[in-house]
Structures are given as C-alpha cells and as structure tokens.
Structure 1
Amino acid sequence: MFELITIARPYAKAIFDISLENKNIEYWHRVLIITAQISADKEIKKIFSRGLSANNIYDIFDKICGDKLSQSAKNLIKLMAENKRLDILPAVLSEFDKLHDDYKSIAEATVTSAFNLSNEQLKNIKHLLEKRLARKVRLKNKTDISLISGIIINLGDLVIDNSISGRISRLAKILQY
C-alpha cells in the first residue's frame, strides 16, 4: 500500500497543479473518477492482464470514455499506459482528493462511538473540531460496540481516544510495568 501511494502521489500532484493553474479542478476530478472506475473494473483488469500494448490499452480507454476526455486527459492515460500505471488510478484519485481538501482547508475526521450519536452531538463535535483546527471538517460517523462507551476521533494522524476500552487498555499497560 505504501508503495502504491508513493507512486500515485506525484501523478496526483502534477494533475492537481495543472488543474489549479487552468482553473478546472472539477473537470480533472471527474476524469479521475471515471478513469479510476474503469481501471478498477474486474472485466477491464482481465483484458489488461492479457499483455496488450500501451496503444491498445489507450484505445480501450478512449473508446470507453468517448468525448469525456480532453487531449490533456488522453495524454495522461497514454503516459500511464506506457508506464504500466493505469492500475494506480484509484490511488491517484484518492491523493488528488486529499490535495483538493487541503487546498480548500477541509479536514476529514471519523468519529467512532459505542452507540449512535445524535445529530446534535455530531454537530457539536464538528463545531469543536472546526474551531480547534481552524478549517472546515467533513465528519464521518461509525459505531463500534466494543468501545463500551465514549468516542474515538481519527483526524489524519491524530487519534483522540476517549473510549472506555481505550482507557482500560492504557491502564493495563501501566499496570504491566
């Protein structure tokens, strides 16, 4: 997974920089969504695994996408086909989305709780995170009954664990020493 992101990140950065310069971020986002879906399709993967030439693979993408791709997008597909990198398009899309969120000052957070949180509770958590981070927050909510009680907030590399299971785990570590 680490290697995939390492390979995908420069592509995403280059695409994002070009889209920012040309003021067509939404267009490139749509292109990456379409091409990532194509490259991730099981039937397409079977076709690509037959050892087709880069031109044949490019032709398949071109026929599927039709007029949805600009010449720049077609050039990207051709380049990625030549470098045998079309399989990383979903990762390129993911990295592009991260760059876009960073550009728009949006952070993504996941709140995991033992029980369903009310809309008011989620709204309060979101407000507190936005105030602390000084950026907009896109909040996802999950439930995990193994937490017993409390919440865990994942925000990129930052984890705030205020769950009972987390506290028990930390206490057990302390008592082992």
Structure 2
Amino acid sequence: MSELTTIARPYAKAAFNFAVEQSSNDKSAVEKWAEMLNFLSVVVEDENVKIFLTSSISASKLADFVISICGEQLDQYGQNLVRLMAENKRLSVVPAVFEEFQHYVEEYRSVTEVEVISAQPLNNEQQQKIANAMEKRLTRKVKLNCSVDSSLIAGAIIRTDDFVIDGSSKGQLTRLANELQL
C-alpha cells in the first residue's frame, strides 16, 4: 500500500496545489476537486473499468473512455489529470490519489489556535497582520486568542503548540540579564 501512496502523492499534491491556487478566484475549487477525484475513483474502481484499464489499449483511447464515462463530472483540468495519468499508466491509482488529496484538504482546513499576549490591546489591523504572518509561517488557517498583560512593558508574545515568539520588552530584558550573568 505504501507504494501506491508514493505513486499517488505527487498527483494529489499537484491537484491540491492547483485547487488552492484556483480558490483565490473560486472559493469552492478545493471542494470541486474533491468531488471530481471522488467520482473518478468510483469509476476507476468499477470491475468493468478495471478490466479495461489493464488492457493494451492506447493511453489516449483509455483517457477518452474514462472521460466519456465521467461526462460533466470532470472539468477541463480534471480531464487533463486523467490524460496525464493515462499516459503514465497510473489511472488505477486514482483512489489512492483521492485519499492523499483528502489528507491535504484536512490539513489545509485545520485551524491552529495562536495565543497573542500583548502589553496593550491590539486593534483589528494589528491582529490581521499577525494572523496573516502566522498563516504564512504555519501554512494553515489561524485563530487568534488575544489577551493583554501590562507587565510585558511593550511588544507581544505569540504562542502556538509548536513554538513561542517572545517580542516583548520584558522578554528582551530577561534575555539581556541572562547574558550579563554569564
């Protein structure tokens, strides 16, 4: 099974990246790709289609056959994926591609909570800048939990499960004190 995953992963990653790129214009592009891959995997898992996939028919005829079965379920990009996978004799791996794609979607949709402790209340613009920077760094959606701690003097501390960014004056003074004691 790991061999299938190894073969499927690049196709799934490419489809996912393309869907995310399209999502900037069309919010439901990731869902459309998930639906296309799901439908395509159901088609490919059909016993009659499996027999056809193992025949010695040309890649272009095989791709046209699968595309004709899928009909309106595949857009032009989904059809291009079918043609590419047929050329590479990988159509039988479509169910594994769909499974890997689902993993990427789950990871993409997961929201990481980020705790922001600042010396003064943050306005909406500051919160948005922090959220954007953290989403870029973590490559996932971020939910900010903001609080105020006046003992920080100035700056902020940003925490996630994975790391801490201490940009507070209190933290800088503590680090300086530690360095001077050496």
Normalising TM by the smaller chain, what interval? Answer: 0.5 to 0.7
Partner Cα separation in structure 2 for residue 51 and residue 37 of structure 1: 22
Aligned identity (percent) is: 41
Map 1:16-31 to 2 at 5 A. 16-23=16-23, 24-31=29-36
Within a 5 Å distance, the mapping from 1:108-119 to structure 2 comes to none
Is 1:90 the counterpart of 2:95 in the alignment?
A: yes
Q: Distance in 2 between matches of 1:70 and 1:2?
A: 29
Note the 1:1-177 alignment, pairs <5 A: 1-23=1-23, 24-105=29-110
Deviations 1:28-87 (A, max 9, x none): 001100111111111111122221111111111121111221111111100000000001
The match for 1:129 is none
Q: How far apart, CA to CA, are the structure 1 residues paired with 2:70 and 2:11? A: 20
Query: Hey, what's the Cα distance between the residues in 2 that align with 1:25 and 1:70?
Result: 13
CA RMSD, Structure 1 to Structure 2 (Å): 1.5
After TM superposition, the runs of 4+ consecutive aligned structure 1 residues lying more than 2 A away are: none
Q: Which runs of 5+ in 1 are unaligned?
A: 107-134, 136-177
Distance in 2 between the 1:13 and 1:47 partners?
27
| Kept after mapping to 1: 8 A contact 2:43/2:70 | no
CA contact (8 A) 2:59 2:87 kept: yes
Normalised by the length of structure 1, the TM-score is: 0.58
Question: What is the one-letter code of the residue matched to 1:7?
Answer: I
Q: How many residues align?
A: 107
Distance in 2, Cα, partners of 1:71 & 1:7: 23
